[in-house]
Amino acid sequence: MWETLAQAVINGLLIGGIYALVSIGVTLIFGVVKIVNFAQGEFVMIGMYISFFLATQFGIDPLVSLVVSMPVLFLAGVLIQHFLIRRVLGPNDMPQIFLTFALSLLLLNLSLMLFSANYRTVHTSYSDEAWHIGGLYIPLAKLIAFAVAMALSGLLWVFLHTTDLGRAMRAASQNRDVAMLMGINPNRVFAVAFGTALALAGAAGSLLMPFYSAYPFVGQVFVLMAFVAVVMGTLGNVMGALVASLMMGIAESLGIQFVGADSGLIVVFGLLLLTLAFRPSGLGARRGR
């Protein structure tokens, strides 16, 4: 019993790391640029395909291809912010919603056309490996993905708290208007935020590749969890999204283990409703706000 429970928690925690990378991206964009990026999942998908093609064409390990997928998606993010998002930022939310939603549909169907609906899998020496400790096992590929995800989240935290640009992003996230009045260049901050968020999505894609299949709809699986985590961890709160993602990974895993294999999401959404009932602004909200 305890063994099963411990195993379920380990499984949940490891997959929660991937959810975290996606949800941190969503929450970062929401916090700084104040738009909801519905296309975040599709950028995870693009990250996966980048890693897939680098692995199959040039034999590059998916983890190594992180150094390609992250900059490529960062650049894509900057360009998308500059040429698309910037134009629709205004008092009205509707154009922004339609823009990112359209972007999601466009990328999804484009990849269907280019890559077909087939599942693409990469094989690495560690894909099927696991460490056995006592009665428990830890899949190596997922452990690596989790560790890198946590390291990237840590780096982001350091960036947001110690650099001028990072502080500017946090300032813009807390109160955009005042930040502007303090002389922060919004376009630069927005572009970096959007780029960083997409780079994280790309990282999630590359980290997933050793143990998950790439296909055009793959982003949808992760973006649903990301949105739940973002809401649960308070919109715009990076730390909140991280913690909420890990919690949801564990909740899902426990749900599958103890409620039923088709009930993982029931537990996740139950947890979300409970959280919102007692802390309507989410886990990361400051009291008294």
**């590359």: which residue's tokens?**
206
φ/ψ of 37, rounded to 5, equals -90, 100
Burial class (CB in 10 A: 0-12, 13-18, 19+), 96: buried
Q: Is 256 in the site for other proteins (CB under 8 A)?
A: yes
Query: Given candidates 49, 52, 194, 215, which one binds other proteins under the rule CB under 8 A?
Result: 215
Shortest distance (Å) from residue 90 CB to other proteins: 36
Residue 132: Cβ within 10 Å count: 8
Q: Does 109 bind other proteins (CB under 8 A)?
A: no
- Applying CB under 8 A, does 253 fall inside the site for other proteins? yes
Which of the stretches 31-39, 67-75, 176-184, 221-229 binds other proteins when contact is defined by CB under 8 A? 221-229
Per-residue tokens: 64: 């190594």
d(CA 38, CA 154): 25
Tell me how far the alpha carbon of residue 188 is from its chain's centroid. Answer: 22
Cβ atoms < 10 Å from Cβ of 273: 11
Q: Does 201 bind other proteins (CB under 8 A)?
A: no
> In terms of CB distance, is 21 or 193 closer to other proteins?
21
Say whether residue 7 binds other proteins (CB under 8 A). yes
In the three-class reduction of DSSP (H, G, I as helix; E, B as strand; rest coil), residue 132 is classed as strand
Closest CA to 123 of 44, 216, 212, 202: 212
**Residue 240 or 255 having the CB closest to other proteins:** 255
* Cβ at position 66, least distance to other proteins in Å: 19
Tell me which of 132, 286, 287, 289 binds other proteins, using CB under 8 A.
132
Among 117, 133, 181, 277, binds other proteins (CB under 8 A): 117
Q: Nearer to other proteins by C-beta: 139 or 202?
A: 139
Pick the closer one to other proteins by CB: 98 or 119: 119
Q: What is the x/- site pattern for other proteins, positions 135-174, by CB under 8 A?
A: --x-x-----------------------------------
E runs forming strands in the chain: 130-133, 136-139
By the 8 A CB rule, do 253 and 15 touch? Answer: yes
Distance of closest approach, residue 148 Cβ to other proteins, in angstroms = 17
Contacts of 283 (CB under 8 A, 6+ apart): 232, 233, 234, 240, 243, 244, 275
Q: Which residues partner with 138 through β-bridges? A: 131
Q: Does 121 bind other proteins (CB under 8 A)?
A: yes
**Binding of other proteins by 285 (CB under 8 A):** no
**Residue 211, interface with other proteins (CB under 8 A)?**
yes
Pairing of strands 130-133, 136-139: antiparallel
Beta bridge partner(s), residue 130: 139
Answer yes or no whether residue 63 interacts with other proteins by CB under 8 A. no
Site mask for other proteins (CB under 8 A), range 259-278, x = bound: -xxx-xx-------------
Tell me which amino acid residue 62 is: P
Binding positions for other proteins, rule: CB under 8 A: 4, 7-8, 11-12, 14-15, 18, 116-121, 123, 127-130, 132, 137, 139, 211-213, 215, 221-222, 225, 252-254, 256-257, 260-262, 264-265
